[in-house]
Amino acid sequence: MAVPHLTVSVDERSRLAKARLGEVVLGKWRLERLIGLGGMAAVFEAVHRNGSRVAIKILHPDLAGSEEMRERFLAEGYAANRVAHPGVVTVRDEGTTPDGAVFLVMDLLSGRTLAQRLEEGTKPFSVGEVLEIATQLLDVLVQAHGRGVVHRDIKPENVLLTPEGRVRLLDFGIARVDSAARSQDTALGTTLGTPAFMSPEQAFGHWEDVDGRSDLWALGATMYLLLSGAPVRDAGSDLDQLLCAMTRPVVSLGDVAALPRSVVAVVDRALAFHRDDRFPDARSMQLALRAVLDELSAPASLATLPPPSIEPVAVSLRTPRPERAHHRASVTTVRPVAASAAPSPVASGGSKPGALPFFVSLGFAVGISIVVAARLGVQQPGVEGAPDRAPAAATPAFVSPAVEPPTAPTPATASAGPPRSSASVAPRRTPHARPGRAGADRSGAGARPVLNSFSE
């Protein structure tokens, strides 16, 4: 759009465009439906006499009197065809209406523009959809910029979404085709483009600085609007928009919408006030967007979980081992009483190292208590018929042969001897009691590393 050339209202342009319905152009194209109005032209659906359908774009009557605008309008066909990309509409023909308005015959596309979808408000744009739209547009810009074409008017009204999900970039009416157009822009002294989507250098009219990075800025502004629902600038009139464009950097997208940081980073860079701070070219921005798309499309379980490790398994198997050890000990404490010389293989295998001395010591204590009780029972004076030697049969398991004289008696003699007093038994308990206490301490310490091995 060339801002200074707006000499009539939109309503008047709409009225004049509708008055053309039914007109036959070049004797073969009948204008059947008004598709839309742009800054420079009205677009119609037309039917050829053989039944084929096309789109015909006719320059507004109030601009048709300017030779410069006529040339610029017709240049759109050359610019679009020079890009030669599936995302750009092909221009088939050109001509002049009976009243002197120039027109272009173009391929007819079905679909809705981004602006139309925003106005409907029925289906908001998702982050993934916006990134995909931008990626397709950048594919067009890669080819356009590579062939010396800068669009200079990227905005929601000029981006069409087909029913198949393809993106088409429309309206190359103010595109700059090569360096020759720069001198023409300077001579015209006009501000070309749509103020709400103009880069700072474009708003200033510094045409020597307007290049592919200006298109990237406009694309960033379009993404900003689609993602946040807010324009990049809070300004009313076109003049206010131009002043803001020339003086104020854009507020970060992250300050107006809750979006992934990677998305915000790409859009903010595209909207940098100084063009040298933006992406250097369309391909660089496209690669950045593809990386963000890959990041967002990765499964959440793979994107958020740490690298595989056995530690989670160890933690999930944590058990209160001290309680289990104590439970087993309470079941097997009587076993050492029957064999004090060597620990039972079952007990040693089922207990932790250092726990067996405690069990043996406990067994000795129980056995000594039995001996003492038996001794006291034999010597009680009020008991009649108590056997004098009966308790002696239980004592050999607790009496060490080391206490006998060098000429050790036979087992029968030892069992026939008088039972020893509790004082004589105590020294035999002491050597076993000390390892038992030490073993109990080691058992408690030994349980801690087992738990730590699961928690480390």
What is the model's pLDDT at position 385? Answer: 44
Stated pTM of the model: 0.63
The structure tokens listed for 426 are 């105590």
Q: With bands split at pLDDT 50, 70 and 90, how would you rate the model's confidence at 370? A: low
Burial class, 22, CB count within 10 angstroms (exposed 0-12 / middle 13-18 / buried 19+): exposed
Q: Is pLDDT above 80 for 423?
A: no
The full set of domain ranges for the chain reads 1-108, 110-299, 316-379+388-399+413-455
Can you tell me the mean pLDDT for 98-108?
Answer: 93
B/e letters for 307-324, b = 16+ CB within 10 Å, e = fewer, are: eeeeeeeeeeeeeeeeee
How many angstroms separate the CA atoms of 407 and 402, rounded? 11
Q: What distance, in Å, lies between the first and last C-alpha atoms of the chain?
A: 67
Q: Is pLDDT above 50 for 346?
A: no
159 strand-pairing partners: 169
pLDDT in tens, 269-285: 999 999 999 999 999 99
Contact (CB, 8 A) for 253 and 267 = yes
Q: Is pLDDT above 70 for 420?
A: no
What is the model's pLDDT at position 192? Answer: 78
Q: Is pLDDT above 80 for 400?
A: no
By annotation, the residues acting in catalysis are: 153
B/e letters for 66-88, b = 16+ CB within 10 Å, e = fewer, are: eeebbebbbbbbebbebbebebb
Contacts 24+ apart (CB under 8 A), 197-200: 197/153, 197/154, 197/155, 197/221, 197/222, 197/232, 198/241, 198/242, 198/245, 199/245, 199/275, 200/245, 200/246, 200/273, 200/274
What is the model's pLDDT at position 121? Answer: 81
Which helix or strand (DSSP H or E) is residue 33 part of? strand 29-37
What is the model's pLDDT at position 300? Answer: 52
**Higher confidence at residue 290 or residue 351?**
290
What is the model's pLDDT at position 329? Answer: 40
Q: Is pLDDT above 50 for 191?
A: yes
The structure tokens listed for 284 are 């660089």
What is the model's pLDDT at position 177? Answer: 85
Which residue shows structure tokens 């004592």?
A: 395
| CATH number belonging to the domain at 110-299, selected among 3.30.559.10, 3.40.50.720, 3.40.50.150, 1.10.510.10 | 1.10.510.10
pLDDT in tens, 12-43: 999 999 999 999 998 999 999 999 888 889 99
Phi, psi of 91 (to 5 degrees): -95, 125
Can you tell me the mean pLDDT for 90-112?
Answer: 93
Which helix or strand (DSSP H or E) is residue 104 part of? strand 102-106
The structure tokens listed for 159 are 């981006």
Q: What is the mean pLDDT of the chain?
A: 75
Can you tell me the mean pLDDT for 230-242?
Answer: 91
What is the model's pLDDT at position 365? Answer: 53
What is the model's pLDDT at position 123? Answer: 78
Q: Is pLDDT above 80 for 230?
A: yes
Superfamily in which the 1-108 domain is placed by CATH: Phosphorylase Kinase; domain 1 (3.30.200.20)
Can you tell me the mean pLDDT for 289-313?
Answer: 64
Nearest Cα neighbor of 175 from 147, 203, 195 is: 147
Q: With bands split at pLDDT 50, 70 and 90, how would you rate the model's confidence at 375? A: low
Q: Which of 177-181, 355-359, 438-442 has the highest mean pLDDT?
A: 177-181
What is the model's pLDDT at position 246? Answer: 94
DSSP 376-404: HHHH-TT-TT--SSGGGGGSGGG--GGGS
What is the model's pLDDT at position 276? Answer: 97
